[in-house]
Structure 1
Amino acid sequence: MKSTFRRLAAAAAVTATAVATAFTTIPSAAVQFGQKEVDQTKFVAIAAPVGSGASHQLLVLEQVSSARPCWSESGAAPVLVDPLLTRFDFTGICGRSTDSNGYSLRVNGEDVGMQYSLRVVKQNNDMYLVGATRDRSKPMLFVGKTNGMTNQFAKIELNQGWRFTKRMYNESVLGHVYLTYEGANVPTIGATSGGSTPPVVTPPTNPGTVTPPTSRFRDTVGDIYLAEIDRAVQVGFISGFEDNTFRPQESLTREQLVSMVLGAIDSMPNVNLNIPTQVSGSPYSDVETSRWSAARIQFAKQNNLITGYEDGSFRPAQPVTRAELMAVLRRAGEYAKSLQGQQPQLQGNRPATTFSDTNGHWANGLISQMSTVCSVASPVNESGTAFSPDSAAQRNYAAAATLRMLNCVSPQPTTAQR
């Protein structure tokens, strides 16, 4: 493994230098580039060791096809990454960006790679991914951290608001990967040149130059699931509210989950579920025939998408837990595949995620399986190692997880080609 570290580390030297210190000095060439949203589960930012591991550099891997996993993850605080692509010809299967030619920063629709270079810095028993300027007295953009120290390859957990996108020129999608932030408060971090003082997150030095991004909803700007929320709404299986909000952190109820999942399946090509609008009898003791969701719940029950409780109730208005969400999405994925004439078993396309809080839980195996299926199961807010199986599923994650499931089983991917 050490020889693998050396080979990749040698390839991962960052050569970019900063030539300016403010967003206002964007080079004219930058306006020619656009950005394309991507499936976040197919990318990973890694702190790659250089030499013996005394220092680290940024390495970005992309799972281009599902032929073979490009990396695996294990452990916690930090999550260690094994770059599997070093063991086979990864052409057409994996993408690898090792320096400023392959990745850069993009903030509010503007390339800032000429102002900020991406670096991994160490302090306070942690490793931070930052956008640094040549002027060491200036604060750095705070992109993510590993949540621990190691001399091996470690996963960098992106801070909320940061995500991967791809560079576009005219209508062409390029191989260049952006670490992208959109929002009015770009987090920065104090100088980390050494010492024991904890890094201090501060507001941007030039807040007047930062403009909020375009979003479908006024309350999803900066949300970690922004791109997936917008796509889910575009597909049509979830929607916002009349006041132009999505309420991303609001809990999803069990009956809302049923409606959302059936809408997702019904959006697939050549699928028409023909869900009745009325029912003659109550599907569960606490679901009256007059309830808005009764027919959907009855349909989902008949097709083994949901189950009730031992007392005969369904508890439609109760918030659905993250573990229950995984159970319904697995059944929904299997049902969707059968409607397409395929074998219903879900096939994983990436390594299982090791969660720190699911061992011994009734849904442990289920959650692990769903982490291999387009990362339907992922850590809370896509950061750290906790899944929080008994916590209420929020609308933002429920939309994203359902979209990932749909993308994995649909013959025409929905995460899309925008």
Structure 2
Amino acid sequence: MAADHQIKIPATYMRGGTSKGVFFRLDDLPEAARQPGPVRDAILLRALGSPDPYGKQIDGMGNASSSTSKSVILSRSTRPGHDVDYLFGQVSIDQPFVDWSGNCGNLSAAVGPCAIHMGLIDPARIPRNGEITIRIWQANIGKTIVAHVPVVDGQVQELGDFELDGVTFPAAEVRLEFLDPADEGEEGGAMFPTGKVVDRLEVPGIGTLDATLINAGIPTIFLNAADIGYTGRELQDAINSDDAALARFETIRAHGALKMGLIKDLAEAATRQHTPKVAFVAPPSAYTASSGKQIGAGDADLLVRAMSMGKLHHAMMGTAAVAIGTAAAVPGTLVNLAAGGGERNSVRFGHPSGTLRVGAEARQVDGDWKVTKALMSRSARILMEGWIRVPASCLSAR
């Protein structure tokens, strides 16, 4: 075998919300990776340390969880009314593929700050002190995200006192607006793809389950916790150590994806790990979060646990939070009913790491529910910057 050598690519390693990932500027990628294809995927896989049959990503920047095996490509936007184009790739840990089918809501909080850091925003627009509004085109799903980024002394304010359950240290708050999160996007689907707020989902070997199937933020299958033998108070070990439970969730996910029209054949679900998500809901009750923090029954409107890339998420995916807020705003969905029913424009839900509030503006138009925006707050911080090194053989990927 001929000796290989490494190439280096400018990159920024960032935390956004309860996730972190490697951010690239499109123009900094090797020319063959500036468009979709095997070279781009090979670089991202190698940068994160995948595929890794050991499941640890020791030889890369990934941290062996769906929250940390992520990549982002940013570029100055040529789309009218937008500042930056944001493309997200969910890198599989143990398989050789990158899933481009959805967004990462947590890393959305890091896009505005990183765009400033990478010089993609006109310096004349950046205030000396105050807040800059950055309009982001989310290229995976064809949506607009508006980020409100705090600025101090002409620099992005990263440190502050905003606390986010699931993140150890406080930081500066970044407010996000997800515009028209349930309108027809790249998938071409309606908010409720079957036209119902609650469906009967038939899953061979498991049974027929009540389910809310929604396209908002990210395609999501909501179930009642009690219907699948859970309380909604579960932490990661209760599910992630149970191989039979993980297999059941994957079976549910595959059949839900088929019913939502996201795939045409059940076998396709194996190559579409990022979407849809599966989440289960329950009325509020007291529990102990993974940090040891006590969450009282009155601290949340409902409990939600969500699966991501085949495992129970340690907190909540940002895009799934958008789906939760949207579903909560529509009377009769399982999320809405678990929160007590009725109309609402915000909801606070309990997740394994604590609680999170998300808002949504919903209204009925000609008998159909429309959500104009979903709102939530996150934080972001640069962890490291410099160059990623990957083998030059990535450039020959086919």
Of structures 1 and 2, the larger Rg is shown by 1
Judge same fold: TM > 0.5, yes or no: no
Higher strand share: 2
Point out which structure has higher relative CO (alpha carbons under 8 A, 6+ apart): 2
Normalised by the length of structure 1, the TM-score is 0.26
Normalised by the length of structure 2, the TM-score is 0.27
